[in-house]
Structure 1
Amino acid sequence: MPTVRDVTIGLMRELGMTTVFGNPGSTELPMFRDFPEDFRYVMGLQESVVLGMADGFAQGTRTAALVNLHSSAGVGHALGNLFTAFKNQTPLVVTAGQQARSILPYEPFLFAERAAEFPRPFVKWSCEPARAEDVPAALHRAWLVAMEPPCGPTFVSIPIDDWDRDCAPFSGRKVHAGRAPDAGAIAECGQAMARAKRPAIVVGAGVARDGAWDQVVALAERHSAAVLVAPMSARCSFPEDHALFAGFLTAGREAIVAALAHFDFVLALGGPMSLYHVEGSGPHVPDACEVWLIGDNHVHAAWAPAGTAIVAQCDKALDLLLAGPVPGARTAPAGRVLPAPLDGSVMTDAYVLQRIAALRGPETIIVEEAPSSRGPMHDRLPIVAKDTFYTTASGGLGHGLPAAVGMAMARPDDKVIAVLGDGSSMYAIQGLHAAVQHGVSVSFVVIKNNRYEALHQFGRHFGMQTLVGTQFPELDFCMLAGGHGVAARRATDAASLDEALRWSFAADGPTLVEAVVL
């Protein structure tokens, strides 16, 4: 009979999971005996890096990626980016080794106690199969659940001695999953939008996940509706150079109400609109403003503080809205006013982002993890093409650098630019090693301000002028890059910045630019 490993490898091939991201330990090694030549193993030097690379790869390919970690210790290291994958709604199948079944009663070295419980609540489903021969079925279910909207990571713990056990052949089932929108509710929403005098659309990451970019553009143009981006959205869902683009909502209660005060109808698509980072008070939406929410995540629908929610995939819902009633004539809303260009006399993060925008191709992919520079990025680095912007939906650090590597592996014909803070970079600097190993075309641009600037900004919010443990002027990213085999250049003024960015953007392999800012 074939072994559990034989059957599992065949299933993985059938499901398209032939790229394995991992950092294995002793209890995972039997999985890789006679590793097939048509598979690819991507090693990361730390488990959070492994998760981040897989997250970027899965988002780039739009299918679940396979991650292999080491029992409790490895899963523990990866939890931060597992949390991010959960918030990103990224489909992942995460496996981890377990000690041999025969010695589990004796709490052996490097075993996982309550293995299936450990990664919760950051996985949609988890299990440790009751029998070795159940491993393929468990992995197949993990893949199905990961891919079912709303997508997300799943987890399977596999004892070390399962892989060589006999196993009957296993055939995967076809499951057609999805959420068809309620036609009656969509019709009511469409009628309300057509009646409105001043409609607006708020787009979240779900629009990009559902491939609904063009449909949102068509709906906005049909209704002359202003389009804003939901707070902390992890994807690009509308062209930021479009005449109807009105900017970004801030993750604060009063700020959201103020930004929407002009509108009498708001349609929030593909993610939470009322996402808060600080305490607030007062209403959640403006008075006399009718709010509708459409997205595939029933959890978002349940906790939204205002509005009528429809659980549905954005592309399917938008098809129905576009077939709905035609609005009367409206005056187009005023366009967004952008700040004046900077002259480069002072090296700031805003200037660095302005030059990235000027020197990059519009189809290049931006993977961002520079929290304190998000505001300047909105002003200076417009995202104008679909599927060209990715960031963390969780707010956790250590995702951006490895996610950029995974994205470049998923889309090898595209240039990837990782815009990173210096503090964020250090959470996953080992990801540079994988970039070299696989020769990916990533430009790592590290905005170096020698501190956790996001914490300083937040400290000022609390009236704290001095923070401890948030400065690190000693870091040298050119030396760190060189130690991993990545060519690097430092930029300290406008001239050296342009030279370094042009060099990096033209390179075929991984490069790093350390942009020193005030």
Structure 2
Amino acid sequence: MSPYAGHRAGTTVREAVVRFLRETGMTTAFGNPGSTELRMFRDWPEDFTYVLGLQESTAVALAAGHALGTRRAAFVSLHSAGGVGHALGAVFNAHRDRVPLLIVAGQQARSLIQLRPFLGADEPDRFPRPYVKFARQPERAADVPAVLAEAHRIAMTHPRGPVFVSVPEDDWDEPAEPVRPRTVHAAYTADQDALAALAARLDTCARPALVAGPGVDDEEALPEARALAERTRAAVWISPLSGRSGFPETHPLFQGFLPPVPGQLAARLAPYDVVVALGAPVFTYHVAEDAPPLHPGTELFHLDCDPAQAAWLPTGTSIVTCLKPALTRLTAQLASTDREPPPPRPAPPPAGSGPGITAELVFDLLRARLPRDRVLVEEAPSHRDALHARVPVDASGGFLTTGSGALGWGLPLAVGRALADRRRVVCVLGDGSALYSVQALWTAARHRAPVSYVLLDNGGYAAVRSLGRRIGVSPVPGTDITGIDFPALAAALGCPADHATDPADLPAALDRVLDADDEDGPRLLHLRVAATEGAMYTDPWAG
């Protein structure tokens, strides 16, 4: 029997695509519509939800949050070349953070493409590269459903990520055969000899350590990573600037977050004779420094599903594999051990009292109020190390940020994540970060997304100023942001907002923004905090 049996004759590209989206669970679409997408929206199905982002990078981040919450690909509609250009910073984030997105961009009519028309995209399949796993404009209108289905399979195959299809606007009304979804199982299995050699090395080493990266969360392998750590009694670190949670941070084996500085990172790992990186780039640096990646005597093993990442690592032995099956088999091969576990990470001292509100005080109060199952989204670069030290995350998927550094991700990401299961999300933002995508508050309000925003206003791009001080560049022009009434701006976009200036008022203000009912939609708390005066990454990261 034909795989298309039972479908009526005369199906259009639009009908075939809508059917495919419905059957793959992508009935929530994200985008910012334009003229080249109009035919796609003809007879828009009533069981679909369209989430409007007021700029294309915002739409991509909204979709990414939804994909991370549902663990499925999300559908994003962009408007021709201009919309793809606007969105590329967010596409870059999605690529580095392994977020599966099915991105469809409108293109001018096929009959006009040769004439370089208004809104036409030249070489559209090259535009978003290299930050998509797949990019294509189908040769024929009839191929659109099949190309979209292929792109979806690629997006959902580890290492997952965004894919891109350009569709000429007159294709949507053309005839095409429907395409049914099919499953691709991609449980890459590690070489058994390589796993056995690693198990033997872990059995004989004196001081093992694990480095948990975003791949642990992406592959839902946190229970397996924890079992390996407990079996080996290894110290556990999280990779530098990771965009995901990778290990329960209140666990006694957890040691902290590796710094994105070559010498500091090597020094943190120097006490260990064997380090096993799990779904982690390991050497994600933010500043340049003349230092080796690891000290002599530290042997690195690296497990990850991405062969490209395995290829570029400067040192160590890589095993290309999906983590869940590999960690299960590795742990089963290990002998029991009586080695002494590392001492627990010391807790930071309580934030001091003073005349003004500090980020450290906010985080201490947040820690006491944040339910263990609450998702925490962060985009406050100058306060990130303090947040990590004072607000531990234990749950898989419990922490989300950008692992690549393109700002404007956190605010809309939190909206998409909240819409995925309608549970309240907490988002900690800096003022500079918020202004990249503040229009997403309108989307949050329109869809009553349960997000509690805590906006730390330090008057500018404090992280840039801090990095400038590190290399002797001070002052840095263009880093001051003043005169913005954030509560009024949020209210104008439909998001109720509050503020506090006195530390004594802070606990009650946090309670109001955090304890809102999920049905109440978004809330924002604006807090003026002191800017960090030190140079970034000069102090030990481990808190």
Tell me the TM-score normalized by structure 1: 0.98
1:168, distance to aligned residue in structure 2 (A): 2.6
Alpha-carbon distance in 2 for matches of 1:53, 1:501: 25
Aligned pair partner of 2:373 in 352, 363, 370? 363
Q: Which residue type is aligned with residue 522 of structure 2?
A: P
- Give the aligned partner of residue 510 of structure 1: 522
Equivalent residue number for residue 380 of structure 1: 390
Q: Residue 188 of structure 1 aligns with which residue?
A: 197
Q: After the TM superposition, which segments of 4 or more aligned residues of structure 1 sit over 6 Å from their partners?
A: none
Alignment partner for residue 12 of structure 1, among 21, 28, 43? Answer: 21
Q: Secondary structure at the match of 1:120?
A: coil
Who is 2:406 aligned against? 396
| Contact 2:231–2:337 (CA under 8 A) maintained in structure 1 | no
1:104-503 correspondence runs (5 A): 104-345=113-354, 346-412=356-422, 414-503=423-512
Counterpart Cα distance in 2 of 1:501 and 1:134: 53
Given that residues 151 and 163 in structure 2 are in contact (C-alpha distance below 8 angstroms), is that contact kept between their aligned partners in structure 1?
yes
Decide whether aligned partners of structure 1 residues 356 and 67 sit closer, same or farther in structure 2, where only a CA change above 3 A counts.
same
Paired residue type of 1:507: A
**How far apart in 2 are the matches of 1:487 and 1:20?**
26
- Alignment-derived partner of residue 90 in structure 2: 81
Deviations 1:69-100 (A, max 9, x none): 10001111100000000001100010011111
How far residue 141 of structure 1 moved from its aligned partner, in angstroms, is: 0.7
Other structure's SS at 1:57 match? helix
SS of match in other structure, 1:101: coil
Secondary structure in structure 2 of the residue aligned to 1:379: helix
Give the deviation of 1:177 after TM superposition: 2.4
Look up the match of 2:6: none
* Deviation for aligned residue 1:282: 3.2
Distance 1:493 1:221 in 2: 44
Cα deviation 1:291-321 (Å, max 9, x = unaligned): 1000111121111111100111111111011
8 Å contact kept, 1:271–1:300 = no
Q: Distance in 1 between matches of 2:482 and 2:353?
A: 23
| Residue 48 of structure 1 pairs with residue 60 of structure 2 | no
Cα distance, 1:360 vs. partner?
1.6
Amino acid at match of 2:409: H
Percent of matched pairs sharing the same residue: 45
Distance of aligned partners of 1:161 and 1:60 in 2 relative to their CA distance in 1, 3 Å threshold: same
Please tell me whether the aligned partners of residues 99 and 159 of structure 1 are also in contact (alpha carbons under 8 angstroms): yes
Question: For 1:40-66, what per-residue CA distance to the aligned partner results, in whole angstroms no more than 9, with x for missing partners?
Answer: 110011111100001111111111100
Q: Give distance in 2, aligned partners of 1:170 and 1:331.
A: 57
Deviation at 1:178, TM superposition (A): 3.2
Deviation of the 1:444 alpha carbon: 0.9
How many Å apart are 1:176 and its aligned residue? 2.2
CA deviation after TM superposition for structure 1 residue 427, in Å = 0.2
Could you say what secondary structure the match of 1:496 adopts? helix
Q: Give 1:343 shift.
A: 3.8
Q: What amino acid is aligned across from residue 265 of structure 2 in structure 1?
A: I
Deviations 1:139-171 (A, max 9, x none): 001101101110010000001111111223333
Structure 1 residue matching 2:47: 3-state secondary structure: coil
CA distance in 2, matches of 1:364, 1:168: 44
- TM-score relative to the length of structure 2: 0.94
The one-letter code of the counterpart of 2:44 is F
8 Å CA contact retained: 1:148, 1:178? no
Equivalent residue, structure 1, for 2:5: none
Tell me if the contact between 2:157 and 2:184 (Cα under 8 Å) persists in the aligned partners: no
Cα 1:327–1:307, aligned 2, differ >3 Å: closer, same or farther?
farther
- Preserved CA contact (<8 Å) 1:91 1:151: yes
Range that drifts further, 386-395 or 321-330? 321-330
Deviates more, 1:471-480 or 1:335-344: 335-344
Alpha-carbon separation, structure 2, partners of 1:409 and 1:168: 32
CA distance in 1, matches of 2:182, 2:220: 25
Q: How far, CA to CA, are the matches of 2:282 and 2:336 in structure 1?
A: 24
In structure 1, distance between residues paired with 2:33 and 2:192: 48
Matches within 5 A, 1:16-35: 16-35=25-44
SS in 2 for 1:375: helix
Aligned with 2:346: secondary structure? coil
Q: How many residues align?
A: 517
Q: What's the secondary structure of 1:117's corresponding residue?
A: coil
Aligned-pair RMSD on alpha carbons?
1.1
State how far apart, in whole Å, the 2-side matches of 1:61 and 1:182 are: 31
Instruction: Give the partner amino acid of 2:206.
Output: K
Does the CA-based 8 Å contact 2:65-2:412 persist in structure 1?
Answer: yes
Give the drift of 1:482: 0.4
Q: Deviations over 1:212-256 (max 9, x none)?
A: 111211111111111011101111111111111111110111111
Which stretch of structure 1 is more off in the superposition, 400-409 or 295-304? Answer: 295-304
CA distance in 1, matches of 2:178, 2:66: 29
Residues 202 and 274 in structure 2, CA contact (< 8 A), matched pair in contact too = yes
Q: Does the 8 A contact of 1:344 with 1:493 survive in 2?
A: no
Aligned equivalents of 2:322, 2:505: Cα separation in 1: 46
Aligned residue type for 1:236: S
1:94 maps to a residue whose letter is: I
Deviation of the 1:327 alpha carbon = 4.0
